[in-house]
Structure 1
Amino acid sequence: MKNILDLDTEELKLWMEQNKEKSFRAKQIFQWIYKGIFDFKLMKNIPIGTIDKLEKEFYIDIPKVVTKLVSKDEDTIKFLFAYRDGNLIESVVMKYKHGNSICVSTQVGCRMGCKFCASTIEGMVRNLSSGEILSQILKAQEEIGERISNVVLMGSGEPLDNYENVIKFIKEINKSDGFNIGQRHITLSTCGIVPKIKELAQEKLQITLAISLHAPNDTLRRQVMPIANKYSISEILDMCKYYINMTNRRVSFEYALVKGFNDGIEQAKELSNTLRGMLCHVNLIPVNEIKENSLKKSSSDNILKFKNILCESGIETTIRREMGADIDAACGQLRRHYLNN
Structure 2
Amino acid sequence: MHSLLDPNPAPLKSWLAEKGYPAYRAAQIRKWVFERRAKDFGEMNDLPKKLREELAADWQLWTAQVVKHQQSADGTEKLLLELPGAGSLPGVPGRIECVLLRDGDRRSICISSQVGCAMGCVFCASGLDGVDRNLTAAEIIEQMLLLQRLLPAEERLSHIVVMGMGEPLANLDNVLLALDEASADDGLGISHRRITISTVGLPKQLHQLCERNARYHLAVSLHAPNDELRNQIVPVNKNIGLDEVIAAADRYFEVSGRRLTFEYVLLAGINDQPQHAKQLVALLAKRTALLNVIPYNPVAGLPYQTPSASAVNRFRDILLEGGINIKFRQRKGAEIDAACGQLRRSTPALLPIGSK
Global fold match (TM > 0.5)? yes
Shorter-normalised TM range: over 0.9
- 2:14 matched to 1:5? no
The one-character-per-residue Cα deviations of 1:180-236 (angstroms, maximum 9, x if unpaired) are 011111111111111111111223433210011000000000101111011110000
| Aligned residue among 248, 270, 285 for 2:294 | 285
8 Å Cα contact 1:183/1:205 also seen in 2: no
- 2:206 matched to 1:197? yes
Which residue number in structure 2 is paired with residue 99 of structure 1?
A: 106
The one-letter code matched in structure 1 to 2:265 is: A
- 2:215 matched to 1:214? no
The one-letter code matched in structure 2 to 1:7 is: P
| 1:139–1:62 Cα change, 3 Å | farther
| Aligned residue among 89, 94, 97 for 1:90 | 97
CA-CA distance at 1:52 after TM superposition: 4.8
- Larger displacement relative to structure 2 (78-87 or 181-190): 78-87
CA-CA distance at 1:14 after TM superposition: 4.8
**Greater fraction helix:** 1
Which residue number in structure 1 is paired with residue 90 of structure 2?
A: none
Which residue number in structure 2 is paired with residue 255 of structure 1?
A: 264
| 1:9–1:311 Cα change, 3 Å | farther
- 2:38 matched to 1:37? yes
The one-letter code matched in structure 2 to 1:5 is: L
The one-letter code matched in structure 1 to 2:7 is: L
| Aligned residue among 143, 147, 155 for 1:140 | 147
| Aligned residue among 321, 339, 343 for 1:334 | 343
The one-letter code matched in structure 2 to 1:327 is: I
- Aligned Cα root-mean-square deviation (Å): 1.9
The one-character-per-residue Cα deviations of 1:105-160 (angstroms, maximum 9, x if unpaired) are 11111111111111111111221111111111211222343422111111111111
For 1:183 and 1:321, the matched residues in 2 are separated by 24
- 2:128 matched to 1:127? no
The one-letter code matched in structure 2 to 1:109 is: G
1:155-234 to 2 correspondences below 5 Å: 155-234=164-243
CA-CA distance at 1:48 after TM superposition: 4.1
| 1:69–1:51 Cα change, 3 Å | closer
Which residue number in structure 2 is paired with residue 112 of structure 1?
A: 119
8 Å Cα contact 2:96/2:115 also seen in 1: yes
Gaps of 5+ in 2: 86-92, 351-356
Q: What is the percent sequence identity of the aligned residues?
A: 37
Which residue number in structure 2 is paired with residue 46 of structure 1?
A: 47
1:42-81 to 2 correspondences below 5 Å: 42-71=43-72, 73-81=73-81
- Larger displacement relative to structure 2 (50-59 or 92-101): 50-59
8 Å Cα contact 1:212/1:254 also seen in 2: yes
TM-score, normalization by structure 2? 0.90
Which residue number in structure 2 is paired with residue 28 of structure 1?
A: 28
For 1:57 and 1:80, the matched residues in 2 are separated by 27
- 2:270 matched to 1:269? no
The one-character-per-residue Cα deviations of 1:56-81 (angstroms, maximum 9, x if unpaired) are 4321125332212222x332112112
Secondary structure of the equivalent of 2:261? strand
For 2:193 and 2:14, the matched residues in 1 are separated by 30
For 1:6 and 1:300, the matched residues in 2 are separated by 46
CA-CA distance at 1:301 after TM superposition: 1.9
| Alignment size in residue pairs | 340
| 1:306–1:30 Cα change, 3 Å | same
Secondary structure of the equivalent of 1:131? helix
| 1:17–1:154 Cα change, 3 Å | same
The one-letter code matched in structure 2 to 1:234 is: D
